Amino acid sequence: MNALNDTTKDPLVLAGKSFGSRLLIGTAGYPNQQVMLNAIAASAAEIVTVSIRRVSTEAYAENLWDLLKDRYHLLPNTAGCETIRDAVLTAQLGREAVGTNWVKLELIGDRETLYPDVGQLVQAAEELVKDGFIVLPYCTDDPVICQKLADVGCAAVMPLAAPIGSGMGLCNPYNLEIICNRSAVPVIVDAGIGTASDAARAMEIGAAAVLLNTAVSKARNPVLMAAAMRDGVAAGRAARRAGRIPKKAYAEASSPQLGMIGS
């Protein structure tokens, strides 16, 4: 097995469950369902997010849950919710409809920037944790908010790299690195990833995983980009484990100077 992709000794562990892949992927915005299925397969992701509001509970309707439930660990999300009541109710309805207590908690405070309402987010997370949910909250890249979310019992924290769907990459890698270094729970960098180098960089600074959607679904070739993201996450994780050399302001020869011809 290629050492880069050998994750058997380095699994992602969330709420006591182990996963071989450190890439989580979404299901929105693809040209069609077949491209979506091919891209998810190419990504090698094991956790796939699905908006609870896009899952039909009608028996006659083929929905995303039906397409994916036997292949992947599905992570329902509360996309579109703007209040604590709406987010909690949506999560509860999702649990009843699809039979999982895992939820990616999204609670948006601004429709233009799609930034989370962090005040309401912490309260909603605490309520859902008490209700038996395994909560993975989408949040800002704020070390204080991430600490509060961990303190109320979230299984991971999911700070944004940049605004949702922007493809801007890591706008504030310094904050993200602080969060990664301090967090007692896994840090999953979520939103704003644009290309494979962004995913690799997130892993290099210490993220446990990366969650993305638009970077793949809106790429010219979603399947090829999904494979690139898979490799970027794996390379970044390997580099983090290997340990980079220190940065220096001067040159340093890689070959020994003594014993050279003419010396």
| 17-19 and 12-14 beta bridge pairing | antiparallel
Range of the domain at 136: 3-242
Instruction: Report if residue 236 sits inside a domain.
Output: yes
Amino acid at 6: D
pLDDT at 186 (0 to 100):
97
Range 156-168 burial, b when 16+ CB lie within 10 A, else e: bbbbbbbbbbbbe
**Are 117 and 91 in contact, with CB atoms under 8 Å apart?**
no
- At 206, which CATH number? 3.20.20.70
> Does some domain include residue 46?
yes
Residue 263, domain member (yes or no): no
Number of domains within the chain: 1
27: in domain: yes
**Residue of 126, 105, 108 whose CA lies nearest to 116:** 108
Task: Report the b/e string of 50-84 with b at 16+ CB within 10 A.
Answer: bbbeebeeeeeeebbbebbbeebbbbbbbbebeeb
Residue 170 lies inside a defined structural domain of this protein: yes
Question: Which residue(s) pair with 188 in the sheet?
Answer: 209
CA 249 to chain CA mean position, Å: 34
> Which pLDDT does position 27 carry in this prediction?
92
Residue 250 and residue 62 in contact, taking contact as beta carbons nearer than 8 Å: no
Both tokens of residue 9?
Answer: 């000794």
Indicate whether 188 belongs to any domain.
yes
The reply to whether 253 falls in a domain is no
Across the range 168-195, mean pLDDT stands at: 94
Side-chain half-sphere exposure of 262, counting CA atoms within 13 A: 0
Q: Is 105 within the bounds of a domain?
A: yes
Choosing from 104, 218, 247, 248, the catalytic residue is 104
**Residue range 93-150, pLDDT digits in tens:** 888 888 899 999 999 988 888 889 999 999 999 999 999 999 999 999 999 999 999 9
What pTM did the predictor assign? 0.88
| Catalytic (active site) residue 130 | no
